[in-house]
């Protein structure tokens, strides 16, 4: 519902002689599928449905990047700052950007002026696990879509910001929420569909992937991620996920976790949706012997039916909260259609994306302690003594033996998306070098309460740095170069045909590096920590680069000793946009 503020703002903007009202967005499926190769807009999360985060633009390049200057800055305003993990979208001269506390703005990309603002009315008692963030929107036709902290998906008119429809994903009082950017993909039977996951794995919810009609939000299909649960198709039960009790004991599958909280990617070549699934619940692995499918896994789904075509589990019987939600990025190598995913458990996996067949896995962080490596089938070679102890075997029955595990439960890589360059054939992986003291405790499920059964304290592994951006060869695991950062890295990465790698740091710096050497070419301090993902597009013949700035997310909430080390970082809420000076831009063409 719109407040009077929108009408007042719109009226004030309309009075400006320099403001030109944008045309209404009209995004077609073809625009989304070609997003990775077109330069005049950004209409998908990941700069293309395959999630490579690569732009063919090269006006800003190794030679010119050092001359970047701010074009405009837009403030989210108010006291609702917190973590800003959004990736903006751009279409027809308008930027659509989400912010903390389930808000969205439309901004004129020529001036940085607000066109409209939507504030979702959140109820009391929401249960977000890891800050009140939102990672972005989706756009199709004349509407823009995003999820909310009270587990709803909202469609807004892109021109006016007025609500078109709202659908409830699930009960927020049970721990459900939604923070990921939705994904819009084609369907022969249903037309374009909007695909979402769920957040809330720490509350014992059951993860799932769902598809809805874009015009009214009606449910097309639903696919749970934990075995034993029934899927839905066309309003009726379809098939069961896996086989009940095949890898889950007793009734634990009913509250088994496996949340799909990061969203997914789509590969047009194989017509498959790829989603990662989160930790099993509870964290105490001694309560649930077995592989606990399909938690901590990557699954490929048929967009027509929601059926799982293949699954690959990275951490069976997870005992360290190594969510497997990390993005699946499609790429081609050696004549094969492959996919890479950098897991929270510290290994970069390469799979055949049509079948899920394991190709290779290599560590991308140092001192991994929970596993000796990955065997030829893709299964981890566990180190039994580095699993947290069973509390039922403790003298008091209240706390199992504590171990020090690397990486920490916040992962070798957490949510922050990596990027792939079609030029260097390298992945650029934002990682963190940290470990944790972790121990298990007894726990029982209670609706709306944290369902962990573990305690933990995160600690740095090195004195010099925690954050580490690594340029990696996906098939060999070779690190070509590494950029070390004192604070943890918590934002996304982008690559360009200009030979650049672009990312931000919690210290507030937007950085541009040489994609071949890692040499720093340019840096700008945005005034608050960066935990968002950059984008680039061409506007009136000029290459624009934008980043959302605003420190927060899981690190200051869960980071233990690490959180203390970054306690001085200021929160914020800004969109910064950069370009080359006009004289230099014309010479660079």
Q: Which residues are known to be catalytic? A: 321
Burial (0-12, 13-18, 19+ Cβ within 10 Å), 20: exposed
Task: Tokens for 13, please give them.
Answer: 């903007």
Torsion of CA 112, 116, 117, 118, to 10 degrees: -150
Q: Where are the beta strands (DSSP E) in 260-335?
A: 264-267, 272-276, 297-301, 308-313, 329-333
Give the CA distances from residue 208 to residues 308, 312, 462, in Å, rounded to whole numbers and listed in that order: 11, 16, 37
CA 86 to chain centroid, in Å, comes to: 9
Q: Which residue in the block uniquely carries the two structure tokens 């909260």?
A: 321
At residue 343, φ and ψ (nearest 5 deg) are -85, 155
3-state secondary structure of 314: coil
Terminal CA-CA length for the chain? 45
Using the Cα atoms of residue 391, residue 560, residue 483 and residue 133 in order, give the sign of their dihedral: positive
Q: What is the DSSP string of 88-132?
A: -EEETTEEEEEETTTEEEEEETTT--EEEEEE--PPTT---SS-S
Task: Show the CA angle centred on residue 208, arms to residues 212 and 318, nearest 5°.
Answer: 160
Give the C-alpha distances (Å, rounded to integers) separating 464 from 364, 457, 489. 18, 19, 14
CA distances from 170 to 198, 206, 306, 431, 585 (A): 8, 11, 18, 32, 49
């Amino acid at each position: 519902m719109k407040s009077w503020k929108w009408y007042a703002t719109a009226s004030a903007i309309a009075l400006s002689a320099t403001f030109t009202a944008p045309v209404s967005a009209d995004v077609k499926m073809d625009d989304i599928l070609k997003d990775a190769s077109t330069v005049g807009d950004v209409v998908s999360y990941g700069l293309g449905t395959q999630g490579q985060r690569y732009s063919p633009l090269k006006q800003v390049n190794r030679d010119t990047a050092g001359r970047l200057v701010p074009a405009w800055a837009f403030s989210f305003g108010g006291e609702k700052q917190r973590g800003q993990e959004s990736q903006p979208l751009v279409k027809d001269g308008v930027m659509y950007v989400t912010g903390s506390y389930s808000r969205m703005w439309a901004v004129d990309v020529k001036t940085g002026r607000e066109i409209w603002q939507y504030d979702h009315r959140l109820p009391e008692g929401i249960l977000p696990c890891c800050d009140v963030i939102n990672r972005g929107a989706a756009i199709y036709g004349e509407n823009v879509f995003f999820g909310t902290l009270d587990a709803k998906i909202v469609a807004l008119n892109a021109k006016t910001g007025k609500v078109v429809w709202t659908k409830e994903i699930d009960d927020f009082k049970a721990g459900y929420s939604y923070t990921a950017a939705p994904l819009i993909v084609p369907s022969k039977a249903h037309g374009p569909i909007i695909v979402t996951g769920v957040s809330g794995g720490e509350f014992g919810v059951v993860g799932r992937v769902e598809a809805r009609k874009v015009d009214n939000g009606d449910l097309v299909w639903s696919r749970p991620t934990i075995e034993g649960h029934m899927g839905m198709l066309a309003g009726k039960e379809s098939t069961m996920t896996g086989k009940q009790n095949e890898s889950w004991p007793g009734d634990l599958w009913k509250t088994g976790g496996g949340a799909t909280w990061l969203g997914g990617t789509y590969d047009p070549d194989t017509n498959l949706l790829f989603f990662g699934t989160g930790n099993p619940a509870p964290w105490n692995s001694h309560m649930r012997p077995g592989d606990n499918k399909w938690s901590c896994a990557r699954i490929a789904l048929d967009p027509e039916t929601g059926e799982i075509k293949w699954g690959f589990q990275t951490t069976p019987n997870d005992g360290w909260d190594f969510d497997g939600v990390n993005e699946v990025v499609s790429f081609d190598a050696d004549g094969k259609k492959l996919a890479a995913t950098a897991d929270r458990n510290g290994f970069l996996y390469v799979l055949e994306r049509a079948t899920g067949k394991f190709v290779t896995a290599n560590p991308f962080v140092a001192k991994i302690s929970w596993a000796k490596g990955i065997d030829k089938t893709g299964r981890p070679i566990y180190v039994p003594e580095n699993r947290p102890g069973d509390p039922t075997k403790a003298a008091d029955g209240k706390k199992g033996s504590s171990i020090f595990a690397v990486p920490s439960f916040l992962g070798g890589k957490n949510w922050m998306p990596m990027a792939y360059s079609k030029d260097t054939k390298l992945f650029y992986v934002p990682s963190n070098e940290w470990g944790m003291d972790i121990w298990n405790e007894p726990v029982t499920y209670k609706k709306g309460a944290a369902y962990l059964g573990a305690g933990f304290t995160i600690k740095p592994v090195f004195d010099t740095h925690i954050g580490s951006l690594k340029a990696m060869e996906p098939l060999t695991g070779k690190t070509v170069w590494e950029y070390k950062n004192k604070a943890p890295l918590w934002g996304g990465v982008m690559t360009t045909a200009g030979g650049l790698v672009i990312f931000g740091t919690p210290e507030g710096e937007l950085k541009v590096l040489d994609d071949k050497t890692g040499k720093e070419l340019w840096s700008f301090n945005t005034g608050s920590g960066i935990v968002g993902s950059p984008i680039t597009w061409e506007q009136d013949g000029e290459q624009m680069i934008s980043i959302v700035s605003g420190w927060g997310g899981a690190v200051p909430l869960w980071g233990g000793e690490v959180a203390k080390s970054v306690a001085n970082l200021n929160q914020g809420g800004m969109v910064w946009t950069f370009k080359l000076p006009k004289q230099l831009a014309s010479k660079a063409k």
